């Protein structure tokens, strides 16, 4: 089934500015914005999913439903420019690649004309010593992203806040524009979500993940998911989602397990002495979910 959304130019704007979690969070605070939907735009083929959208040529984008009596399309674009790096042609902030590039998807000539004037005004302002790289693209398709991507900042505040800080988004915007209201907190927001029941947990994670997180088991060295992983990102507790380590602090210890010089957020960790093999060693565990 084609999930293409109906385009209503009079009350909908489609914009791409890197991670759609962040763009969504930046726009939903505006007066006159009704809702913001995270999704994929600009590619080929039907029904892209998170695992395939980049290969299909789609870009992470948001559709902003707004009340034109309270806020104009031009005002939305003004807000958009001040929450991205318009001169970055290779992505946005820590997220690299075309799938994370900035773009204005116009749905009709009226939106195109407003977008062109807005971009020209920015280029003539002398604000940047590089050309504005944000593309203006005719909107043909927009597909909402998976449900777990919608309202991600509210549903997973700890992961979102750490991701946003790690990405350098607010730090870069602050340097570029100098008029932001302050950076997102680097500290996690406390979550009141209870730990899932054991039966529920067994359905959510793999048997090995259950053994490691709940029964103090250990993955095999050189034969586990992340020991030689070189992708940028944040390592989180598979059960609670609590941020534990950053790839910026990862190093090759030669042990066959992922190793880090320091935790991302010490308050999410706990140390426990282990004498199981007749020697004293200190284990670092996720404070929230692993039995102490």
Q: Write down the domain spans for the chain.
A: 9-177, 198-286
Rg (CA), the chain: 22
Tokens coding 210: 């259950």
What is the pLDDT tens value at each position of the chain, 292 positions in all?
444 444 444 589 999 999 999 999 999 988 899 999 999 999 999 999 999 999 999 999 999 999 999 999 999 999 999 999 999 999 999 889 999 999 999 999 999 999 999 999 999 888 888 999 999 999 999 999 999 999 888 888 888 888 888 888 888 888 888 744 433 332 233 444 566 778 888 888 888 888 888 877 888 888 888 888 887 667 777 777 777 787 777 888 888 888 888 776 666 777 776 655 455 566 777 766 544 3
Residue 76: DSSP 8-state = H
Report pLDDT digits (tens) over 134-171: 999 999 999 999 999 998 888 888 888 888 888 888 88
- Which class is 198-286 in CATH? mainly beta
CATH number, span 9-177: 3.30.1060.10
Q: What is the pTM of this model?
A: 0.60
For 59, 97, 99, the CA distances from 55, given in Å and listed in that order, are 10, 11, 9
Looking at the chain, which runs of residues are DSSP E strands? 12-17, 33-41, 59-66, 91-92, 95-96, 102-106, 135-138, 142-144, 234-236, 243-246, 250-251, 259-260, 269-274, 281-286
What tens digit of pLDDT does each residue of 14-36 get?
999 999 999 999 999 888 999 99
């Amino acid at each position: 089934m084609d999930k293409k959304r109906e385009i209503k130019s009079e009350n909908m704007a489609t914009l791409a500015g890197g991670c759609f979690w962040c763009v969504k969070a930046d726009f939903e605070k505006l007066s006159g914005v009704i809702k913001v939907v995270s999704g994929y735009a600009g590619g080929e083929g039907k029904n892209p999913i998170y695992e395939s959208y980049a290969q299909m040529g789609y870009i992470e984008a948001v559709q902003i439903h707004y009340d034109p009596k309270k806020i104009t399309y031009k005002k939305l674009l003004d807000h958009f420019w001040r929450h991205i790096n318009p001169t970055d042609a290779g992505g946005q902030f820590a997220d690299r690649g075309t799938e994370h590039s900035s773009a204005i998807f116009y749905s009709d000539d009226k939106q195109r004309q407003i977008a062109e004037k807005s971009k020209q005004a920015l280029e003539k302002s002398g604000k940047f010593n590089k050309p504005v790289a944000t593309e203006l693209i005719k909107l043909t398709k927009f597909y909402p992203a998976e449900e777990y991507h919608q309202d991600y900042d509210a549903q997973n505040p700890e992961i979102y806040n750490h991701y946003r800080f790690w990405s350098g988004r607010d730090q870069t915007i602050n340097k570029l524009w100098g008029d932001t209201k302050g950076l997102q907190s680097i500290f996690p927001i406390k979550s009141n979500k209870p730990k899932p029941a054991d039966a529920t947990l067994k359905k959510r994670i793999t048997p090995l993940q259950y053994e490691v997180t709940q029964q103090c088991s250990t993955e095999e060295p050189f034969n586990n998911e992340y020991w030689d992983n070189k992708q940028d990102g944040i390592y989180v507790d598979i059960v609670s989602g609590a941020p534990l380590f950053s790839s910026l602090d990862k190093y090759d210890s030669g042990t066959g397990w992922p190793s880090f010089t320091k935790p991302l957020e010490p308050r999410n960790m706990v140390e426990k002495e282990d004498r199981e093999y007749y020697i004293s060693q200190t284990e670092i565990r996720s404070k929230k979910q692993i039995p102490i």
